[in-house]
Amino acid sequence: MEEVLITKNVCKSYSNHVALQDINIAIPRQSIFGLLGPNGAGKTTLIRIINQIIAADRGEILINGEKLNPKHIREIGYLPEERGLYKKMKVGEQLLYLARLRGLSKPEAVSKIKNWFVKLDISGWWNKNVEDLSKGMQQKIQFIATVMHEPKIIILDEPFSGFDPVNANMIKDQILELKENGSSIIFSTHRMESVEELCDHIALINKSKNILSGPKKAIKDDYKSNTFIVEHKKMLGSQVNGYQVISSETLEGSMYKSVIKMQQNDSPNILLNELMKSVEIHSFMEKIPNMNDIFITKVQERASNEK
């Protein structure tokens, strides 16, 4: 898959603090790429380098195979975690001003802004004062400012902050539509449920280093533990014909839920057949690790290795 953005050995330090150490990531074109990590891991520093707000000490960044340079600023849309709107300006006036800075003509800017107003259900907001808007309303305006010039690379830092569930889903739909229309999206968040829903690829940065990266599905497959969750009638013992029952709990109506470890090279069909000899099966599914579990595991592994 062709990459839209590549970082090669990117390093950045502040005084005695190392913010980034040899960061290598590749962001596929027309994908949603999750940039993950605990607070202080270095995510925001990397985003600021990509946006040319600060410079790396070493390493390079390529956009479409070309070294990062000032012309790329107009090709990127950036929604920072620290929101920044001019409070005394009217919504339409502010977006028009920002669109002109992005190189849009006035008629083109007005057309695009009004189209986004319709998409986000805010058609009557043109003459509202920014300072009169709630946090969630201001967030919609910031989102429009980020994407209205149709950038090919969109960087969203905690984009759902301040949204209720209805508006969060509205923005999710727009993010997916932007991807379908050709944009590549870098998505920095602490919300693992959003990563599960939206991201195709991820990179996990911890203490300035990239400790995990790749396609989300491949990473989740790597962290499978060959365990299955089974709902059944009749209690199981601690083993079923050599298969370990890790845990078991009582459900309603004489039902039980057990977690069972499968032997490494066995087929799930073999385990299922063995279980059917002992109990009545009502559901049988593999336990797939979620991104939150993987996130915690990798961070804890790194902390343990440093002791």
Whether 31 and 107 map to the same domain: the answer is: yes
The CA distance from 18 to 7, in Å, is 17
Evaluate whether residue 204 is within a structural domain.
yes
The CA distance from 295 to 36, in Å, is 8
Whether 259 and 206 map to the same domain: the answer is: no
Percentage of the chain beyond pLDDT 70 is 98
pLDDT of 42 above 80: yes
Q: What is the pLDDT of residue 79?
A: 92
Average the pLDDT over 237-256 and give the result: 89
CATH code of the domain in which 277 resides: 3.30.70
Q: Is 47 helix (H, G, I), strand (E, B) or coil?
A: helix
Whether 186 and 277 map to the same domain: the answer is: no
Phi, psi of 95 (to 5 degrees): -65, -35
pLDDT of 162 above 70: yes
**Where do the H-state alpha helices sit in the chain?**
43-50, 91-101, 106-119, 135-147, 165-180, 192-198, 216-222, 268-276, 291-305
Nearest to 36 by CA among 210, 184, 278: 210
- Dihedral sign for Cα 151, 48, 86, 137, please: positive
Evaluate whether residue 297 is within a structural domain.
no
- The predicted-structure confidence for 7-27, as pLDDT tens digits, reads as follows 999 999 998 899 999 999 999
Residue 71: domain span: 3-215
β-pairing, 255-261 vs 243-250, is: antiparallel
- pTM score > 0.75 for this model? yes
| The residue type at 107 | P
Q: Is 73 helix (H, G, I), strand (E, B) or coil?
A: helix
CB-CB contact of 133 with 124 (8 Å):
no
pLDDT grade for 140, boundaries at 50, 70 and 90: very high
The CA distance from 285 to 271, in Å, is 11
Give the DSSP H/E element, type plus range, for residue 231. strand 227-233
The structural domain count of the chain equals: 2
CATH code of the domain in which 72 resides: 3.40.50.300
Whether 233 and 131 map to the same domain: the answer is: no
- The predicted-structure confidence for 52-86, as pLDDT tens digits, reads as follows 999 999 999 999 999 999 999 889 999 988 777 88
CB-CB contact of 55 with 49 (8 Å):
yes
- Dihedral sign for Cα 39, 75, 120, 85, please: positive
More confidently predicted of 257 and 84: 257
